[in-house]
Chains A and B, each alone.
Chain A
Amino acid sequence: MNTLVIVLSLLAGAYLVAVLEAWLATGRFRLAAPAWAAVALLGRESIVPRTPDRIFFETAPVLLLIAALLAAAVLPLSPSMVMANLATGALFVNAALAYVLVALLMAGWGSDSAYALVGGWRFLGQVIAYSMLIVMPITAVAMRAESLLTTDIVSSQEAVWNILYQPIGFVLFFVASMAVAFLPPFDLPIAVGDLAGGVEAEYTGVRLAVFRLGRMVLVITLAAATTVFYLGGWMGPVLPPWAWSAIKILAVSAAMLLGGYTLPRIREAHLLAWCWKLGIPLALINLFIVGVMVLIWP
């Protein structure tokens, strides 16, 4: 029952993200826009390219959705609203998100199209860039919580939220999670201007609908992860815990989308260079600072 409620609220969140994205793209706020778009996609033909790697082509959108949902499964919306409160929750988020890469590689390779292929391999480069900036800040969060349990991580922020306790980690994690969800300005694998849609280019109809749904859930999942790790999860005055979670998650996803709306796409060479030459040293400094702080002021 609990699981069903959480899955449904995740889907509702994904829907709101889609509304927001359509709002930014068209300049008009229409609550029904994603619903109509979904109906249109279902009604449209779903074409398979002439010589695809059929297994990869069909699996990729489903795997993207599964990866996003599994990562969300360990993130709590309130002390009791969590699907599976794994003892290694913070690690499990990483593990599930790693399969976003696998899904995109499959989509890129599977359709045997040049645009998709370049998009898929580009995303591997992107993963090499951002991956450490997801993993290292999470370690710093776990240091403070003395646990990988996501609920423990939220409770550890009782006194001060992690966004204040480890601001460097927050910034790195926030930027990197935009890159995980390949949101602009990190939309290298699905760039419209460079690759005419990249890994998405060959998907039409219902397959595209599943792919898009997976991406929306992914955005919500990453916003939820940011909330749990840095914004004190469900904590907040007056309102019930789930409401605070919802507000924070939606605010974070709105910030992610808005940030990308006002920036041009980053160049892949720059992304790699900045992440390795600036991001990783910063993440290590963050680890060190948090390490010292945990010992003197928990």
Chain B
Amino acid sequence: MALISLQTVFIAFFGIAAIGFGIWVFRTSSMMRSALALLFSQTALGAMFLAMQAEFLGVLQIMMMATEMSIMAIFMVMFMMDPGGLGAMEMSHQKRLSILAGVAGALATAGIALFTQWGVVVTSAPAAAEQTRALGTELLGRSMLIFETAGVTILTAMIAATAVALPTLQRKRNA
């Protein structure tokens, strides 16, 4: 019982940390701070997964977000005006609409969490090694099609990103 309550404390702690970093994303006018705050918000989420004993998911989250958010940071620094936040630029847009959307989103999420029939709650999570194994079996068995579709989706993303972002060879030659 003591362990469970400690677990709850950690879940709460990392949850609040994630929210705190999330708020910081919008409170700062430096693009770099904003990007890294989002990074640490995601890291805190990963730590929350760990506290909930979803080890693979947590570690994966912690790993992926570090590189992906850093790459987001370089794109933000490349394309946003005043990335250092020296002009103390206001970062929020259309405040009333965003507040409304935020509140509605929060209510909807809370509603789903509260009113869904989640089924029987298991008393203990499977061992971490078991989780990874089960995930692998799932990928290669029942969800194989989904998995291969993900491959095609990633391919599409690669092609789209390349086609949109890179100056075409023709334009390059002219330049």
Chain A residues within 8 Å of B, Cβ to Cβ? 53, 55-56, 86-88, 91-92, 94-95, 98-99, 101-102, 105-106, 109, 112, 121, 124, 127-128, 131, 147-149
Contacts and interface: CB of A to CB of B under 8 A. Distances in A.
B36 A106 contact: yes
Given A88-B128, A95-B60, 9 more contacts: A53-B30, A86-B128, A87-B129, A91-B63, A95-B59, A98-B63, A102-B39, A105-B32, A124-B74
Interface string B68-112: 001101100000000010000000000000000000000000000
A92 B59 contact: yes
Contact of A95 (B62, B71, B73, B84): B62
> Interface on chain A toward B: helix, strand, loop, or mixed SS?
helix
A40 to B, nearest CB: 32
B68 to A, nearest CB: 10
B60 A91 contact: yes
B128 A87 contact: yes
B74 A127 contact: no
B28 to A, nearest CB: 10
Interface string B21-36: 0000000001011001
Contacts, number: 63
A210 to B, nearest CB: 19
Interface residues of B, number: 23
A149 B129 CA distance: 8
Contacts of A127: 67, 70
Nearest to A127: B67
B129 A109 contact: no
Given A53-B32, A102-B70, A109-B32, A94 B55 contact: no
Contacts of A95: 59-60, 62-63, 66
A123 to B, nearest CB: 10
Contacts of B70: 101-102, 105, 124, 127
A260 to B, nearest CB: 24
Contacts of A88: 55-56, 59, 128, 132
Given A98-B67, A148-B132, A87 B74 contact: no
Interface centre among A91, A127, A147 (most CB of B within 10 A): A91
Given A86-B55, A87-B127, A91-B56, A105 B63 contact: no
Contact of A101 (B30, B32, B66, B132): B66
Contacts of A92: 59
A125 to B, nearest CB: 9
A53 B55 contact: no
Interface of B: 30, 32-33, 36, 39, 55-56, 59-60, 62-63, 66-67, 70-71, 73-74, 84, 127-129, 131-132
A39 B29 CA distance: 39
A88 B30 CA distance: 35
A163 B148 CA distance: 32
A94 B132 CA distance: 16
A128 B128 CA distance: 29
B63 A94 contact: yes
B36 A105 contact: yes
Contacts of B129: 87, 147-149
A131 B84 CA distance: 27
B88 to A, nearest CB: 14
A53 B33 contact: yes
Contacts of A98: 62-63, 66-67
